[in-house]
């Protein structure tokens, strides 16, 4: 299983915002650090705002911030919001299923159980858990911001 880039970028945006609780974060900052298109980040921000994970402020001096403490943001819940489909195989959707063995096959049930276990595990992980070292994250963000998105992850500090 692989998360969509939408989900991946949503988590990155939340991590960035979590390391800056005292200020509004701009789409431009996030775009510069991660090398993600501003238009894509606007769509992600909109979804996260609708889901109640971020608050946005328009205009000069605007930006976004977390709508609740990182300890109250479940990674599993965010992924349920951002993953467009949780169907791991075609037969999970009766409308589009063309698999001839679907009525007798037990694979869909096993995969559904595995997906549930995946989300249940991530439900126990919060944004606070994945941002336990904000100082190190901020050093990396600062270096990346200076370097620009053309060289992501190169020469980052190890401690």
pTM of the model: 0.85
Going from the N-terminus, what domains does the chain have, and what CATH number goes with each?
5-147 (1.10.10.10)
pLDDT digits (tens, 9 = 90+) for 6-49: 999 999 999 999 999 989 999 999 999 999 999 999 999 999 99
Distance from C-alpha of 72 to C-alpha of 112, rounded to nearest angstrom = 26
pLDDT digits (tens, 9 = 90+) for 83-98: 977 677 777 777 888 8
Distance from C-alpha of 116 to C-alpha of 138, rounded to nearest angstrom = 33
pLDDT digits (tens, 9 = 90+) for 106-144: 888 898 899 999 999 999 999 999 999 999 999 999 999
Residue 17's alpha-carbon distances to 14, 54, 101, 105, 117, in angstroms, are 5, 9, 47, 44, 28
For residue 8, what pLDDT is reported? Answer: 97
Residue pair 144/158 in contact (Cβ under 8 Å)? The answer is no
């Amino acid at each position: 299983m692989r998360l969509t880039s939408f989900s991946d970028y949503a988590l990155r945006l939340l991590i960035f915002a979590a390391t800056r609780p005292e200020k509004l974060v701009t789409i431009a900052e996030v775009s510069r650090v991660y090398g993600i298109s501003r238009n894509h980040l606007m769509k992600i921000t909109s979804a996260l705002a609708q889901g109640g994970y971020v608050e946005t402020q328009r205009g000069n001096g605007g930006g976004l911030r977390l709508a609740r403490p990182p300890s109250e943001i479940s990674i599993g819940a965010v992924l349920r919001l951002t993953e467009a489909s949780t169907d791991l195989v075609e037969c999970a959707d009766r409308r589009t299923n063309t698999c001839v063995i679907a009525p007798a096959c037990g694979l869909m049930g096993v995969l559904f159980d595995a997906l549930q276990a995946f989300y249940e595990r991530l439900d126990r992980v919060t944004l606070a858990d994945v941002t336990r070292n904000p100082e190190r994250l901020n050093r990396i963000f600062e270096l990346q911001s200076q370097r620009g998105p053309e060289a992501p992850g190169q020469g980052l500090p190890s401690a």
